[in-house]
Amino acid sequence: MEYLPNIIFAILLIAGIGYFSSNVKKLIRNIKLGHKVDASDHKSERWKNVVNIALGQSKLVKRPVSGFLHAIVYVGFIIINIEVLEIIIDGLFGTHRIGQQVLPTSLYGFLIGSFEILAVLVLVSVTVFWIRRNVIKIKRFLSPEMKGWPKSDGNIILYFEVVLMCLFLVMNATDTIFQTAGSGNVISQFIAPWFEGFSEGTLHLIEKAAWWIHFVGILIFLNYLYFSKHLHILLAFPNVYYGKVEPKGKFNNLEAVTAEVKLMMDPDADPYAAPAETAEDEVPAKFGASDVMDLSQVQLLNAYTCTECGRCTSECPANLTGKKLSPRKIMMDTRDRLEEVGKNIDANNGEFKDDGKQLLGDYITNEELWACTTCNACVEACPVSIDPLSIIIEMRRYLVMEQSAAPMELNNMMTNIENNGAPWPYNQMDRLNWKDEK
């Protein structure tokens, strides 16, 4: 019986981490449904991006208010979780505040004192976030794609943060040993008087309850991540690493098509030699993407990393001029379809069974795809290096090359390029007629 709490603690810890690990495995399997991307280039630049963009949040602070508040929550989240280490050791070995016993008093006091200050700053930031979402109702949180679960998800995580921070402060305030030591209780010393008049036993009970709920809350939080946009807490780092390092306007041309175009443009080219030289296996089985399996692993990682912040959509000229396109929705749709495919695989013993659905049409419409101006504003605005445009381009590529389903204006232009070598409906021989015009 003496070890019962430790045993319960260990079981909860193993169950929590076990369930989280099984979801991480699913996540990796789903991402691997995409085709591989070679990211062995620009290593130093990639690491620099991780430090600046993911760790330093350099793009996030371009909007100072939300950037600053987010930075507090982020630092608070990371640092306060160091506290979890102490909780785990105490829980497993039955110690009480192991840090207080093994660290110098001043260092332990400094650490816990910093955590307490951060906890308050997090509470303030989270409250402002909640007000921005629910009272001020900032436009980018109100788009059609933000109804239902995405809206609730945004709020649930704020409530989570509030509960965890409050439990941490109450735990400290009701810990008589910690309060008597008087080091590090910079905030909790002002909460402790709320519990004046409580017996020693009641205080101990409240402290233990806060400790246990705090611990279980952390495990729930950990497992909640998989079902939430807050996966970005973990995925932002690999996502930024694998993000685009080439100039934003540079698209990945299809080798087979490029060879065809070069052949067409080169008057000296041997029309019979070139196709034979380009190996048959260079021609992809399918041009572009109509479903998530046609996308790259980086694009699928992008979809899971999206924070649903809407910065991309708020900068998108198509969206701003009332078109149906929202780059955030492109990412959310891709993730939702990928999850659907993942569940399909789970239900069919590891094999995907055709469900008659696909990303194109069932989630993303042609109208959305053709509304894009390919300006790259969404890519520039994204704080975690997501590239919604690359998905749009792949899906357009499918529409054009597999379905000939481009808008009429584009089809006319492409026919002209094919026939006349220029987008205009004039014969090549007539190109210089303008110079004879009077």
Residues contributing to the site for ligand SF4 (CB under 6 A): 306-312, 315-318, 325, 327-328, 331, 372-378, 381-382, 384, 386, 388-389
Task: Kindly tell me which of 214 and 328 has the beta carbon lying closer to ligand SF4.
Answer: 328
Cβ 307 to ligand SF4, closest distance in Å? 4
Task: Kindly tell me which of 97 and 328 has the beta carbon lying closer to ligand SF4.
Answer: 328
Task: Kindly tell me which of 331 and 341 has the beta carbon lying closer to ligand SF4.
Answer: 331
The C-alpha atoms of residue 394 and residue 392 are separated, in whole angstroms, by 6
How far apart, in Å, are the Cα atoms of 238 and each of 35, 58, 103, 154, 401? 17, 16, 34, 23, 32
Cβ 326 to ligand SF4, closest distance in Å? 8
How far apart, in Å, are the Cα atoms of 324 and each of 140, 295, 309, 386? 14, 22, 18, 20
Supply angle C-alpha 49, 53, 56, rounded to 5: 115
Cβ 24 to ligand SF4, closest distance in Å? 20
Cβ 155 to ligand SF4, closest distance in Å? 17
Contact 152, 227 (CB under 8 A): no
Q: Which amino acid is at 118?
A: L
Task: Kindly tell me which of 118 and 312 has the beta carbon lying closer to ligand SF4.
Answer: 312
Cβ 397 to ligand SF4, closest distance in Å? 15
Supply angle C-alpha 289, 293, 295, rounded to 5: 50
Task: Kindly tell me which of 170 and 360 has the beta carbon lying closer to ligand SF4.
Answer: 360
Cβ 40 to ligand SF4, closest distance in Å? 25
The C-alpha atoms of residue 393 and residue 399 are separated, in whole angstroms, by 10
Q: At what angle do helices 200-224 and 82-93 cross, to 10 degrees?
A: 120
Neighbouring-strand partners of residue 364: 360
Q: How many CB atoms lie within 10 A of CB 74?
A: 17
Cβ 289 to ligand SF4, closest distance in Å? 16
Cβ neighbors of 196 (< 8 A, separation 6 or more) are: none
Task: Kindly tell me which of 118 and 384 has the beta carbon lying closer to ligand SF4.
Answer: 384
Task: Kindly tell me which of 33 and 331 has the beta carbon lying closer to ligand SF4.
Answer: 331
The C-alpha atoms of residue 230 and residue 245 are separated, in whole angstroms, by 25
